[in-house]
Structure 1
């Protein structure tokens, strides 16, 4: 790609430099910037890289892509400079231009729960058939998704990308950049309600993905979901998954994963099995079918799947099993995790922290969680965080009798570690990311 082609792709203006010069990449983080780099200045909610532009010239940077208004007040420019109105929009435009160079199956995944697990499962399936490009879980927003798409190369046969959102319009914004051949919506639930406000807005935001599909693209979605079932009557290419007999790809009851599709039943030995993971696996299988893979390839990929760290990760400490699910937490994922460990070795211990970003609904959902915990038969329940106070009250009111509560994890951290070291039973460790509950197992 030349500098002139870059300027054209992003609707920018070449201020300085030869349009024939080769453009081979860029850096967005000033901390990683070195001589010879091309710096792409981004602006976010709490930062503006344009403030650092003057400091990059002494480093010997090759060039900048920056806002017109920021460049207008600077006298000392690097050898190559491209001006645009909006550098984030330019980044997305470049990623969209790059994405359209590849005629391969590209899957975009959104939903309130299970996005990352479904992505990793599908990546495992695709990788068994060819090189696969995907994004890290924290690169799923307006900044990260374009950067991930730019990693697509001629060696890739598949792409699978997770899309995150915190407000209406977010999925449309990055979905139109990805222009997927297949979209997955895992479910609609009470996640990020602090920003969305209500479940209806969550539904409207997640289903923006349906309007971002490439021509002929197919939407794969959860038939069982009470919100997503509204899509059943809409006329567009789709494949549904779920436990309901009406789903195209049906999860059959049983301890092992069995999928019924087009009248045939396919048994899959899914590692780290759990009912919630069955639905995630079905979503991944649906997207793989949409991409043209058969059940032989799907089975091979799913049977070698390994969950990412801190996502229902089973750890052994002597005779104790810790289910570490500390990457994030919300009402749906907490309920699923609790359900999974109920069938594991007793005694059971729950070590739970705040479910963040629920806004005005926080007390309601934490109360529900506490009441549910009272009926699990747990040996002891450890709760931490200011938002967990209603859970403690509900737990005791519903008949629970073995609760330990503290404002912070440090309040009972040593006691929790001692129990795990004693080496008996199953311990569920779950909380929102900011609670950093992985500290419980660090150093054990």
Structure 2
């Protein structure tokens, strides 16, 4: 019995050993597979955690952006964009410019629609401010708080831009012609009025024809509007022509100055000094009372006749008029009878009188006349007698 028990214990020990060895072998064979499974499980957990974190970050970013987008524009930020003020001019062009400028500031400052009217009315000054005060009272405070920009523009344009002003702009547009303006100046005027003349010049071809007809002849002679596809091309051609006209004018002025300097370099411009004129008039000083040139006592401010000083008649009906020459300022004659002027006229007439040609006589004999080739024979006796009488007269004058 004892041996049997020992054998049984030995077999159990052997069996345990075999089982442990098999278990070890199985565990060694399954370790790589287990590692892969564990690694895969860990990666899944990490990916799920990263996805959740990314979702949280996206949510935070969208929340920040939403807060930034919903932030309202303040009046300080609106005024920082330098919007234009409006003083109430009854001018359609000025009103349209102010509206366009204000709407551009709305976009730049991200102004909310419910704040646009409040911010824009803060730009009104003088007569425009007076109009808004009256109009806002008529609407009431509750209506003003919910007033939109479009609802504000309609009465604003109706008051500051009446139909009569639009009609005047269209009439001026039809009669617009270039005078002394440059191309840029007349183009700005043309474009300002064009905004209100869509019925007159609505298409691009109508704009081109209207602009071409407005230019001067010196521009239209060198521009073909049919070759232009839009208004900008026509304006560029007009600018090029303006530059060429300026160059031609500069070249012409240069040639004139060169001709004047080369033709008479030593000649000086003729002018007469005022002081010499005063000396020519007898060097009579001006009267301190009336500022005129005269001699004797000044009668300005005194009653009666300027000639004799007696009352009862004006100077042009004076019975004893004093005749004074305005050339030499001497009494006794008038300017037309001045002897100095008559002496000048006599001298000038003598200078202008051309000297008379003196006659000469040549005498030859009959035989010499027949032999000379330049002598014409067959002259009538009447003609010869006339020649003789004329010669006698000339000799008589020479003796005198």
Bigger Rg over Cα = 2
TM-score range, shorter chain: under 0.3
Give the TM-score of the pair, scaled to structure 2: 0.24
Query: If each structure's strand is expressed as a fraction of its own residues, which one has the higher value?
Result: 1
Query: If each structure's helix is expressed as a fraction of its own residues, which one has the higher value?
Result: 2
